[in-house]
């Protein structure tokens, strides 16, 4: 789901994947739950801080 939306370099994809794994391990979330958390955070940041939208979308991907 979320991993397929990623834009940017492979390194960014690796970091987002690492964050998903960290959420799964430390918060006990499923893969789907961890990806939903990242999607929610991404949307929140872009909505609240539109000037960061380009950077956030480069890291997490965007539509």
* Domain assignments of the chain as residue spans, ordered by start: 3-60
Residue 59 has pLDDT above 80, yes or no: yes
Average pLDDT of the chain is: 83
Residue 10 has pLDDT above 70, yes or no: no
pLDDT per residue as tens digits for the range 24-42: 999 999 999 999 999 999 9
Predicted TM-score of the model (pTM): 0.70
What does the pLDDT read at residue 22?
A: 95
> How far is Cα 8 from Cα 24, in angstroms, rounded to an integer?
23
Is the four-CA dihedral 3, 20, 60, 11 of positive or negative sign? Answer: negative
What b/e readout covers 5-41, taking b as 16+ CB neighbours within 10 angstroms? bbeeeeeebeebeebbeebeeeeebeeeebbebbeee
């Amino acid at each position: 789901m979320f991993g397929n939306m990623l834009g940017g370099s492979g390194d960014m994809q690796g970091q987002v994947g690492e964050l998903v794994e960290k959420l799964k391990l430390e918060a006990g979330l499923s893969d789907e739950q961890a990806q939903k958390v990242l999607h929610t955070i991404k949307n929140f940041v872009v909505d609240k801080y539109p000037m960061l939208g380009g950077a956030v979308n480069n890291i997490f991907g965007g539509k």
